[in-house]
């Protein structure tokens, strides 16, 4: 059984994951409006991932016989000055999400809730990947910042990114 503290924190995390999805959808739409279809695709895949992260948390609460409480999603920004700014904000946001996930893990550790610790370990690993991806994108866009052909080629490369269902959801579907 989940402690009330962890239950409340996971519900807050569901809201944070949905806010993240909304943020990345806004970035995708801004990039699309600016003609950067590859960047728009990259952020749309991020949008899908964040929705699935929320689903993983919701499924986990349901499996623990705990009520999912959906909260209003706060407003997100709608435009960015550049793609580089989008990725810099992405890195800062992912660092914040990492701290939220670490807080959940700390609560689960205090509670000696090993089932929650097991699920949260997947998210801890995921956050390492999310931060690394954002840093890689920042480095790539800084490398071609003043090179229009380089920006064009990077945008084309990002258009090839596809969505992969996270393992906790793929396993549940089998």
Residues constituting the chain: 174
The residue ranking higher by pLDDT, 110 or 163, is 110
Residue 20, CA distances (Å) to 84, 93, 111, 158 in order = 18, 8, 27, 20
Report the distance separating Cα 43 and Cα 164, nearest Å. 14
Neighbours of 153 (CB within 10 A): 13
Collect all residues with Cβ–Cβ distance below 8 Å to 131 and sequence separation of at least 6: 91, 94, 95, 98
Q: According to the model, what pLDDT value does residue 174 have? A: 45
Domains of the chain: 4-166 (1.20.1260.10)
Q: According to the model, what pLDDT value does residue 42 have? A: 97
HSE, CB side, 13 Å, CA atoms: give it for residue 129. Answer: 9
Residue 123, CA distances (Å) to 63, 74, 92 in order = 17, 23, 17
Report the distance separating Cα 140 and Cα 156, nearest Å. 13
Q: According to the model, what pLDDT value does residue 172 have? A: 56
Collect all residues with Cβ–Cβ distance below 8 Å to 139 and sequence separation of at least 6: none
Q: Decide: 25 and 44 in contact? Cβ < 8 Å.
A: yes
Q: Decide: 122 and 167 in contact? Cβ < 8 Å.
A: yes
Residue 27 has pLDDT above 70, yes or no: yes
Collect all residues with Cβ–Cβ distance below 8 Å to 48 and sequence separation of at least 6: 21, 163
The model's pLDDT over 115-158, given as tens digits with 9 standing for 90+, comes to: 999 999 999 999 999 999 999 999 999 999 888 888 888 888 89
Q: Please give the structure tokens belonging to residue 169.
A: 């959801």
């Amino acid at each position: 059984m989940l402690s009330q503290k962890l239950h409340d924190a996971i519900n807050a995390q569901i809201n944070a994951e949905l806010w993240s999805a909304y943020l990345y959808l806004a970035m995708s739409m801004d990039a699309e409006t600016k003609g950067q279809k590859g960047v728009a695709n990259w952020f749309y895949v991020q949008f899908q991932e964040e929705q699935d992260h929320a689903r993983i948390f919701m499924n986990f609460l349901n499996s623990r016989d705990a009520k999912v409480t959906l909260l209003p999603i706060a407003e997100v920004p709608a435009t960015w000055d550049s793609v580089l700014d989008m990725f810099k904000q992405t890195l800062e946001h992912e660092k914040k999400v990492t701290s939220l996930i670490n807080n959940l893990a700390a609560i689960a550790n205090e509670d000696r809730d090993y089932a929650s610790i097991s699920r949260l370990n997947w998210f801890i690993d995921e956050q390492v990947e999310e931060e690394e991806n954002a840093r890689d994108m920042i480095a790539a866009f800084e490398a071609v910042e003043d090179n229009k052909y380089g920006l064009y080629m990077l945008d084309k490369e990002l258009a090839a990114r596809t969505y992969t269902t996270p393992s906790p959801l793929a396993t549940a579907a089998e």
